[in-house]
Structure 1
Amino acid sequence: MNYSILIVDDDREIAGLIEIYLKNEGFKTKLAANGREALELFEAEPFHLVVLDIMMPEMDGLEVCRHIRKSKSVPILMVSAKAQDLDRITGLMTGADDYVIKPFHPLELTLRVKALLRRAYADRSPNEMDREEEGRIHIGSLAINKRNHTAEVDGRPLALTSKEFGILLLLAGQPGRVFSAEDIFRQVWKEKYFDANNTVMVHISNLRDKLEQELGDKLIATVWGVGYKIDN
């Protein structure tokens, strides 16, 4: 198995025990000691599942779960010492797929991990999932598929022209970078630039309207006198 699992728990002894059991089953693992570290790792590399403790310093597991759910549907198994039904319901409503109460037997957790992976990925291999994710750009609830030239918001297709999609892909592919109208025209239209600033402005205006209608955010920022950018 090539599934990669992120284990998030500020109790290093518990995290280490979970890691031993999961590694014995052939899973790849990474450890994070708090919520902020978990999100940094999650953004830096792909994971197929997250084992997430709720009670942690700096940022608790519920907040981490909310952040992940803004852009990814990766399975999340919450772990907590809170045994009340309300706590379990809160965790599941936040976006967790399953909930285990401490103290737990590591074998039970391992079986739940396997069950979540089976349900989430069915007939797709981890390598196929990685290849699919490599072809996507996520900005909040917006997902851009570079391979089939589509964009969607929370699973709803975003109706874009080919030029609008090209602009969105260009800006979203390098968040924070400012592209001039000339840069955009050359790279999207792939033609020589003959003062086509108005053409670019019209397409960006239409794209912004569509993004705002679906996202509630125009997303594309104007840097006056310089060009346009998207901040991730």
Structure 2
Amino acid sequence: MTATVALVDDDRNILTSLSVYLQAEGFLTRVYSDGETALKALTADPPDLAVFDIKMPRLDGLELLRRLREKSRLPVIFLTSKDDELDEAQGLAAGADDYIAKPFSPRLVAARIRAILRRVELTQPGGEAHADAAAPLARGRLTMDPARHRTTWGGEPVTLTVTEFLILETLAQRPGIVRTRNQLMDAAYSDDIYVDDRTIDSHIKRLRRKFRAVDPRFDAIETLYGAGYRFSDE
């Protein structure tokens, strides 16, 4: 079945270009230029996923998501300002599934949409939630449930984006084994998406910060300079 994606942004150039690209990738799209109109439409006839800009007049993306979460668990990706960690933190706290910083590649948006929709599919009746690839993972104090996109540390929940989840899952699958940045890129991004080393380093930094908010002594993600990263479950 063809997935429907709602795009909400007051920048019509972004709406048009992203909508055209996603349609070429096989998605159906709906576009809304303000949060108030989008809220009514998304509540009355939910799509499969929505992409929100955070900074919009009348009703910004954060408030739109808060109101939507009162009625729906619709998967949502936020578009944030470049390197604006406050936007990212607020978006995830409000219930966003992932975020992408502007300026962005339409290919990256399409890849993140597919990753999230795949995880949603795994949780549906008749999905592959019992397949080995989706089996829960336990490493020391860490538990990860790919089918439900849930992560805990010492029993405390840790909210991760899809990209962060995939990177951590790759590290935790084989504790003690060093993963290069290229290997982590391959795990988190589609083959046609290019990211540089600093992008992976930024994700690792955010992962550490999120786990240290739960456990200030968290040191399970180790850096091996010149080699990459590894996970320690000791």
Per-residue CA shift, 1:123-160, capped at 9, x if unaligned? Answer: 759xxxxxxxxxxxxxxxxxxxxxxxxxxxxxxxxxxx
Residue 36 of structure 2 corresponds to residue 36 of structure 1:
yes
1:102 maps to which residue? 102
Unaligned runs of 5+ in 1: 126-232
Q: CA RMSD in A?
A: 1.5
After superposition, what is the alpha-carbon deviation per residue over 1:24-56, rounded to whole angstroms, capped at 9, x for unaligned? 121111000010010121123121101000000
| 1:74 aligned partner, one-letter code | L
Maintained 8 Å contact 2:43/2:68:
no
Distance (whole Å) between structure 2 residues aligned to residue 32 and residue 54 of structure 1: 13
Q: 2:120 — aligned with what?
A: 120
TM-score, scaled relative to structure 1:
0.51
Letter in 2 for 1:67: R
Which residue matches 2:92?
92
- Equivalent residue of 1:50, what SS? strand
Gaps of 5+ in 2: 126-234
> Following the alignment from structure 2 to structure 1, what is the Cα–Cα distance between the partners of residues 29 and 59?
21
Q: Which amino acid aligns with 2:85?
A: D
- Aligned residue type for 1:116: I
Matched pairs, number: 125
Give the fraction of aligned pairs with identical amino acids, expressed as a percent: 40
Mapping 1:72-221, distance limit 5 Å: 72-122=72-122, 124=124
Greater C-alpha Rg: 1
Quote the Cα distance in structure 2 between the aligned partners of 1:74 and 1:43.
10
Conservation of the 8 A alpha-carbon contact between 2:22 and 2:110: yes
Q: Which runs of 4+ in 1 moved over 6 A?
A: none
Q: Which amino acid aligns with 1:83?
A: D
Distance, in Å, in 1 between the alignment partners of 2:31 and 2:109 is 16
Q: Once the 2 structures are TM-superposed, how far is the Cα of residue 120 of structure 1 from its aligned partner?
A: 1.2
> 1:30 aligns to what SS in structure 2?
strand
C-alpha displacement at 1:82, in angstroms? Answer: 4.7
- Alpha-carbon distance in structure 1 between the residues aligned to 2:41 and 2:34: 11
Task: Give the TM-score taking structure 2 as reference length.
Answer: 0.51
Report what 1:54 is aligned to.
Answer: 54
Go from structure 1 to structure 2 and tell me whether the alpha carbon gap of 1:89 and 1:73 turns closer, same or farther (over 3 Å shift). Answer: same
Report what 2:23 is aligned to.
Answer: 23
> Is the contact made by 2:9 and 2:56 (CA closer than 8 Å) also made in structure 1?
yes
> Which residue of the partner structure matches residue 205 of structure 1?
none
Q: Report deviation, 1:84.
A: 2.2
- Taking the aligned partners of 1:14 and 1:52, their CA distance within structure 2 comes to 11
